[in-house]
Amino acid sequence: MHAKKRYLLVSVGAGLLFLFYLWALQVRRVPAAPAAVPVPPVSPVPTPPRPSRPWAWSPRLLEPYLEGGEQEADSPQLPHQHTSPRERRSVRDNIYKNKRCRMETCFDFSRCHSGFGVYVYPPQRGDQASETYQKILSAIEESRFHTTDPSRACLYVLAVDTLDRDQLSAQYVQNVRLRIQNLPTWNDGRNHLIFNLYSGTWPDYTEDLGFEVGQAMLAKASADAVNFRPNFDISIPLFSKDHPLKGGGMAFGTINDKPPSRKYLLVFKGKRYLTGIGSETRNALYHIHNGDDIVLLTTCKHGKEWEKHKDSRCDRDNEEYSKYDYQELLRNSSFCLVPRGRRLGSFRFLEALQAACIPVILSNGWELPFSEVIDWKKAAIVGDERLLLQQVPSITRSMGLDRILALRQQTQLLWDAYFSSVAKIVLTTLEIIQDRVESHVRSRLLWNSLPGGLYALPQYSADPAQFPFYYAILAGKSPSQQFTALIHMVSPLQSQISPVVKLIIAVAKSKFCAQIVVLWTCEKPLPPRNKWPSTSVPLTVIEGQTKKMSSRFFPHKVILTDAVLSLDEDSVLSTNEVDFAFIVWQSFPERIVGYPARSHYWDSSRLRWGYTSKWTNDYSMVLTGAAFYHRYYHYLFTHYVPSSILTAVDHMANCEDILMNFLVSAVTRQPPIKVTQKKQYKETLMTQSTKSSKVSRWADPDHFAQRQTCMNVFSRWLGFMPLVHSQMRLDPVLFRDQVSILRKKYRDIEKL
């Protein structure tokens, strides 16, 4: 028993002696430096780039790709290598003193009682906005959100140009801090939105803006995920000064007509940085460049002193660089590498989207543009800068053709919906903020499916099934099986044999008609109920809120069906024609489907768009005097089209049907659908105008001249011509065939 106790005591003592020995070794490894002897400067230890969220972080850097000599002499510095951690924290704290800002804590919702109005400050003395910032301000001022009354504003935008905060740039604006603090409604930035494309300067390119943003929201390019305030700031793409204000460059491919493979697998063409901050990735691209299906080109030939810093690869790289045309590479590659440069963002990102080239993003820590609403997994590959050699070749080569096709189609959707112009970038930013302010739940399906979130207004509905665009991707969903006829009346009801009475009776006989709504915008008093014909379906007569042309497309609550049959009071349609057109519309609920067709053309002698009513095999508009469309377009027409355009339409009492065609074609990027030849439509109108004392507006030459003007006004508003020509006409089966009339379903159509 005593032996066991002695053994235990010896073991414990030995353990304590061993621990004491290890402690002594540790103490000897950290000798204190004498105070009188200066400590030599220690080279800063490179810190690894911040990893993007989808990838696991490793505390150990991979071995450098370059040879030892080249790495030491020419490798660009890693982010923040010129600043200490304390300096970086100081810069970050100076800019983001309200790091924890969220909408609930740093936004005053009480200012938005009058709606989501956006106020742009008037320029102060000495303010000179760059061309790019002027585009941003113009996009806001021309949007439906703009207000000139600061007391009714929910959001404020500075007139001071804050886009380029690089102190070495000619666009850098001095004394921004003083200018914004003197604004009467600044209030430490609350309810303010600040746009920025470039922050920091050489050599470190930190996120220093040179002034305190306070509680203002940042719409920032090259946003760092570490400093980004989720659901408060907004990450926007880096775009050049040549990016168009409206319309935008068309995508290089179409959504549905894309071959699944291209000549090249992966391409890149850009600068290679030899000094200062930049990405090591660009210095390592030559390792996977094969000159065959992977073409990754860099050049050292940039900057004033590039020859002073050139390395042994520069001449060879420059020679190879000049052999390839960049646009040719973009248009013929499946994947485009988007590595970070001086900052996290790159122009290559938007260039790849436009070219239907899948972006392969190597920029650790970059908060991707509009990541709050866009699902980038459907359109891009997000990699890790440190795993260039391991990841990029294997991922791109292992991807199936069906997946490549799906990704490329999504790049076209996103480019066209959100990135093709400055106006779309700005409107997307404002829409996201409006959703936060008004607590709208706009699902990612609306943002990431055709036609995009800008055309799917959440104020109308949060249910995708209520829109005309998503039936194909919503299982079991389809438009309602009935329609509402909306008849626009501007003339008094004269007798029971007037054309509008015959029209009401014919439409009411349709088995698909749920109700008939007469919109009374005539200056005469509303006739009593007994003056209207009796029908088997409900007949409702409502007076327009205003006696204006645009009121015919107001979203009246009485309309409960998805389909709307829009009719002029002098339209002549049979029940068979109504039934057949509705059957066709059910297959194309996102388009206008109807009878009277018109077309547009480019007048090269006058350099303007023209309007024609000539009967040809080509058309681009179906007039709403006899056409089906989805009721959502009433809401979009009323709430999306700027008030200045609607005012112009009301002033002329003309062109509302052309405007609806412009709107629907801009949303769908497809032409309307004409059903069954209907020459009698025009001939009947002309005949009626000669028999009545009142000349029909269709026979008025001024009416036609106004429509020519409208074509150009509407195209300037959108920034492009949305109308699409078509030669398709849908007729009933056996239409005009030499067979018995008894074998045809829509027999009356051929008798007209």
CA 234/CA 222 separation, integer angstroms: 11
Q: Which fold has domain 264-418?
A: Rossmann fold (3.40.50)
| DSSP string for 436-476 | HHTT----HHHHSSTT-TTTS-TTT-S-GGGSTT-GGGSTT
Token pair recorded at residue 3:
């032996």
Confidence of residue 46 (pLDDT cuts 50, 70, 90): very low
pLDDT at residue number 692? 45
pLDDT at 327: 92
More confident residue, 742 or 243: 243
Architecture of domain 483-678+699-730: Alpha-Beta Complex (3.90)
Q: What DSSP element (H or E) covers 514? A: strand 513-520
Q: What 8-state DSSP symbol labels residue 159? A: S
C-alpha closest to that of 227 among 342, 82, 97, 339:
97
Q: What is the pLDDT of residue 79?
A: 40
Nearest to residue 565, comparing CAs of 523, 506, 493?
506
pLDDT digits (tens, 9 = 90+) for 447-469: 999 999 999 999 999 899 999 99
Instruction: Return the residue matching tokens 């353990």.
Output: 15
Q: Residue 219 forms beta bridges with which residues?
A: 195, 234
Kindly state the average pLDDT of the residues 108-126: 92
The helix (run of H) or strand (run of E) holding residue 349 is helix 348-354
Ranges 58-62, 168-172, 598-602, 743-747: which has the least confidence: 58-62
What is the predicted pLDDT for the residue at 553?
95
Q: Is the pLDDT of residue 68 over 90?
A: no
Encoded amino acid at 555, one letter = P
**Residue boundaries of the structural domains of the chain:** 88-236, 264-418, 483-678+699-730
Q: Would you say 454 and 413 are in contact if contact means Cβ atoms under 8 Å apart?
A: no
- Give the model's pLDDT for residue 698: 54
Q: Among residues of the chain, what percentage have pLDDT more than 70? A: 81
Report whether pLDDT(429) > 50: yes
The candidate with the shortest Cα–Cα distance to 661, out of 706, 596, 602, 607, is 596
pTM of the model: 0.82
Most confidently modeled of 151-155, 178-182, 272-276? 151-155
What is the rounded CA–CA span in Å between residue 722 and residue 716? Answer: 11
**Which amino acid, 666?**
A
Tell me what pLDDT residue 314 has: 87
Give the Cα-Cα-Cα angle 720, 195, 415 (nearest 5 degrees): 35
Distance CA 218, CA 571 (A): 53
The confidence band for 106, taking pLDDT boundaries of 50, 70 and 90, is very high
Q: What pLDDT is recorded for position 337?
A: 95
Q: Closest Cα partner for 458 from 427, 432, 478?
A: 432
Residue 77 has φ and ψ, to the nearest 5°, of: -75, 150
Torsion angles phi and psi, residue 281, rounded to 5 = -55, -45
Q: Give CA 658 to chain center in angstroms.
A: 25
| Distance in angstroms (rounded) separating the CA atoms of residues 483 and 480 | 8
Tell me the pLDDT band of 70, cut-offs 50, 70 and 90. very low
Q: What is the pLDDT of residues 277-297, one digit of tens each?
A: 665 778 888 889 998 999 999
